[in-house]
Amino acid sequence: MNPGVPASTSDPADLTIAGAGAAMRRGDLAAVELLGAVLARAAVTEAHIHAYLTLDRTGAGEAAAAADRRFATGQPLGPLDGIPIALKDNLCTRGVETTCSSQVLAGYVPPYDATAVARMRAAGAVIVGKTNLDEFAMGSSTENSGFGPSRNPWDTHRVPGGSSGGAAAAVAVGSALGGYGSDTGGSVRQPAALCGLVGMKPTYGMVSRYGLIAFASSLDQIGPLARTVGDAVDLLEAVAGFDPCDATSIRGQVPAMRRSLDAGVDGLRIGVVEELTGDGVAPAVSNAFRGTLDDLAAAGAEIVDVSLPTAPQAISVYYLIAPAECSANLARFDGVRYGLRVDAATTEEMMAATRAQGFGPEVIRRVLLGTYALSAGYYDAFYGQAQKVRTLMRDDFAAAYRLADVLVSPTSPTTAFELGERTADPLTMYYSDVCTIPCNLTGDPAISVPTGLDDDGLPISFQVMAPALGEEMLFRVAAAVERLSRFEARPTLATSQVPSP
């Protein structure tokens, strides 16, 4: 149990991105001092939560010193300048090991930065290190990592969610002020919900996937993890925009995201998704969700009920499409060009041995499922049929958005569950993402905002969904939820067990 404590700002590691940036611009805080506080926090908390796979102290120190030199010149600087950021370890980083938490990529050091990483560096962000994840982003608890699980800072006997669990744990505990993960079926929003953070999946194509090691190419999207909605906007704006290296990247102007943060919800129609708010949602989560709806109604929003008839099929559709795409994407890990190589008598035996030894059980399960779904005689019956239902789901969402400006649901049907509780039952684990998967299938943006704690002191969150390129409206409603909930609790692991530097 962990009842949480009020947020503290006596330690720089507990600041928001906006708060730290303001302090550095005033000259009250140096970037190297902020990085020192974050690394001091990591020195104590990593033994408890295992958020990081790699801490890049040298590279981070050089970036922080460069930020201080920029601050000294008085030139206008962006909101991420000098801010310590955690990166999920499926984002390629030049000169820094990138493993996807898989033994098949142990020791792999990319010769280039992902586009999103290059943009972070250009924005002045200080990359602290690479964080743990479910292997190749396949999981909902970070227990599928090839390098051991991460733990939830609110209760270290529980999972931080997944697959971006390491990044979420790092931001929650203060070993980074913000982070980036990837969201294929909820892998940013669900760990954000379980760790008491804001987590956001942008419209598909808003952030380049170049250099994001692919799991399911039509579903993957890079998104921010932050302590506030405003911080999430800053993180997203730094990396969003067209990239000629990514054929699915959206051309044109990035939607305005900050200008309506203070506009409130008066006059907006907020649609409650019937299929995502009933059976299977824990009573504490349901009660908190209804309480937030009451607050939104009191603030002037019109609450309407909407139906997404295909939502109950989302799990089935996802677990045909995503494994099919991963079976194709992971074919490149064959022991020939990079990563693990297990020597054998023939090339075929070498490839088979390398993949058997390098991939964990969940990755093997999904590759086999995807290969079967794509095989002759089954393609139309399984993968083809799933794509047809995906199209129907897009139609359902489009109809719902004619009735409401945004749609809402709980982010996760439960709060953080115990380590090992669901590992023996993959289907139960898959249902952790029942509320988040639909927006990956449609490509629409969605965000998770923490709203309170359950009786065990574990975070509960509220999900807002919007039409494609509707980020301005999405952040507007999310900011209103944040103001109404006044959630400021932090895990005690971050505040009472760690001395100030």
Q: What is the mean pLDDT of the chain?
A: 95
β pairing state of 198-201 and 178-182: unpaired
> Which residues in the chain show pLDDT less than 70?
1-9, 495-501
For residue 495, what pLDDT is reported? 64
Asked if residue 471 lies in contact with residue 27, where contact means CB atoms within 8 angstroms, the answer is: no
For residue 498, what pLDDT is reported? 45
Which pair of structure tokens corresponds to residue 194? Answer: 């379980």
Q: Would you say residue 333 lies in a domain?
A: no
For residue 2, what pLDDT is reported? 46
Q: Would you say residue 96 lies in a domain?
A: yes
**Collapsing DSSP states into helix, strand and coil, what is residue 405?**
coil
Q: Would you say residue 36 lies in a domain?
A: yes
- Please give the Cα distance from 448 to 386 (Å, whole number): 26
Q: Would you say residue 358 lies in a domain?
A: no
Q: Would you say residue 25 lies in a domain?
A: yes
Residues annotated as part of the active site: 88, 163, 187
Question: What range does the domain containing 219 cover?
Answer: 13-272+398-495
What's 287-341 look like in SS3?
Answer: HHHHHHHHHHHHCCCEEEEECCCCHHHHHHHHHHHHHHHHHHHHHHCCCCCCCCC
Q: Would you say residue 480 lies in a domain?
A: yes
Domain count, the chain: 1
Q: Write out pLDDT tens, residues 398-413.
A: 999 999 999 999 999 9
Domain CATH number, residue 86: 3.90.1300.10
Q: Would you say residue 21 lies in a domain?
A: yes
For residue 10, what pLDDT is reported? 83
Provide, for the chain, the percentages of residues in helix, strand and coil under a 3-state DSSP scheme, each rounded to the nearest 5: 40, 15, 45
Q: Write out pLDDT tens, residues 7-29.
A: 555 899 999 999 999 999 999 99
Q: Who contacts 43 (Cβ-Cβ below 8 Å, separation ≥6)?
A: none
Q: Would you say residue 329 lies in a domain?
A: no
pTM of the model: 0.96
